[in-house]
Copies of this chain bind each other. A is one copy, B any other.
Amino acid sequence: MGAEGNYQPSIVITADVLVKELGLSPTAISQIINGKGRYSEATRKRVLDRVRELGYTPHAGARAARLKRFETFALFNAAPFWQGIPHPGIYEGCMEGCADVGYRLILESVTDKGMPGLRDRSNLLGQRVCDGLLMNYHMQPPDDLRRLVNACGIPVVWLNVQLSENSLYPDDEGATSTLAQALIAKGRRRIAYVDTSPHHDYQTPDGLRGAHYSVSMRMESLRTCLEQAGLPLVRLTPGLKDFDERMAAARAFLKKPDRPDGLICYNEQDAQIIVLAAAELGLTLGKDLGVAQYSEHPDILKRPIATALIPFRDMAKAAITDLVAAVASGERSLPSRAIPYTFALESTL
């Protein structure tokens, strides 16, 4: 309780306070704080000690004006209306990355409904607030959005989407290959792909239609892997609306005489359905059935589900590194690249 009502007097600590108090010039204060110039150890210590005592921080605005650098990146989250929760790893990676390089992170979020007229509402899409842009769009961005962003004049990295340049995305192809190889190595021969979500018909307000690249890439990569191994690709009926419908389909799928013995699931919900159906039918995970999913995290209930861990965090940190380089070099075009997955519980396949 001793922590309350303990407010600092409303004196604002500027460099000027230090100047007067320590009898040094503004130059000296500034240089010592920023580790420049050649000053005696004594002076240096005197300044830095007082800075810490007073809790002095340079005024970010004044600094930005002078340096022509905001030391700030902006994460622009253009979420579709059906996706309330952005990927935590992206946030965390951006924050970690920024913290590592001493940058601040500004956040902005816009739904598709808010896309038209975006330029007028967002001041982040100008070049006067931050030094670089992290675009977190949920699917192939519309051309006009790309143009808008390119026209900003500051470096941009698109996250979680495949573009011809300036984009970073999880290596779904590699992850799928790893999972498929693991299943095959375990002797699985009826390998199925499970994606029952209805959300792939998502349509934006401006009539654009599409889905995240992973929707097709995961399945097509699996198809290719299985073909090379001379195995068929089995599929659970896609596009089911509700839980009961999905459960029924999963039960029927796993009850068939030629039921799959390995399943790769598009996401946690699909894996969930499979695991529940398997439990009902008395099938043991890791023995009768090898189940894999793509997910940001291992199964929260710690069930034996192999997980391809989507490298959102690494991706975001890589993006920050790229942006810092771009700010320094002035280069505005960076090659796109895939970020490798890691894996959990592969042994349960």
Please report A residues at the B interface, Cβ cutoff 8 Å. Answer: 1-8, 10, 12-13, 52, 55-65, 70, 72, 75, 77, 84-86, 88, 91-92, 94-96, 99, 104-109, 119-121, 123-129, 143-144, 146-147, 150-153, 164-165, 242-243, 269, 272, 276, 297, 300-303, 330, 332-333
| Complex: chain B residue closest to A164, CB-CB | B4
Bound complex: CA A150 to CA B55 (Å): 12
* A92 interface neighbour in B60, B72, B84, Cβ under 8 Å: B84
Q: Please judge, given known A-B contacts A62-B65, A128-B59, whether A269 and B301 are in contact too, CB under 8 Å.
A: yes
Q: Please judge, given known A-B contacts A8-B153, A61-B65, A127-B12, whether A3 and B147 are in contact too, CB under 8 Å.
A: yes
Q: How many copies of this chain does one complex carry?
A: 2
4 A-B pairs with the lowest CB-CB distances in the bound complex, closest first: A61-B64, A57-B126, A3-B146, A61-B61
Instruction: Chain B residues near A8: list those with CB within 8 A.
Output: 150-153
Q: Please judge, given known A-B contacts A6-B150, A58-B128, A106-B106, whether A91 and B92 are in contact too, CB under 8 Å.
A: no
Known pairs A7-B153, A72-B106 / 10 extra A-B pairs, C-beta < 8 Å:
A3-B144, A3-B146, A4-B165, A5-B333, A10-B153, A52-B119, A52-B120, A57-B126, A61-B63, A88-B88
Does B57 lie within 8 Å of A123, measured CB to CB?
A: yes
Does B109 lie within 8 Å of A107, measured CB to CB?
A: no
Instruction: Chain B residues near A126: list those with CB within 8 A.
Output: 55-57
Instruction: Chain B residues near A60: list those with CB within 8 A.
Output: 61, 64, 70, 123, 128-129
Most B C-beta atoms less than 10 A away, residue of A12, A86, A109, A297 = A109
| Complex: chain B residue closest to A67, CB-CB | B61
| Complex: chain B residue closest to A60, CB-CB | B129
Instruction: Chain B residues near A123: list those with CB within 8 A.
Output: 57, 60, 104
Q: Chain B's nearest CB lies how many Å from the CB of A34?
A: 13
Instruction: Chain B residues near A119: list those with CB within 8 A.
Output: 52, 55
Q: Chain B's nearest CB lies how many Å from the CB of A302?
A: 5
Q: Chain B's nearest CB lies how many Å from the CB of A58?
A: 6
Q: Chain B's nearest CB lies how many Å from the CB of A175?
A: 20
Does A300 lie within 8 Å of B91, measured CB to CB?
A: no
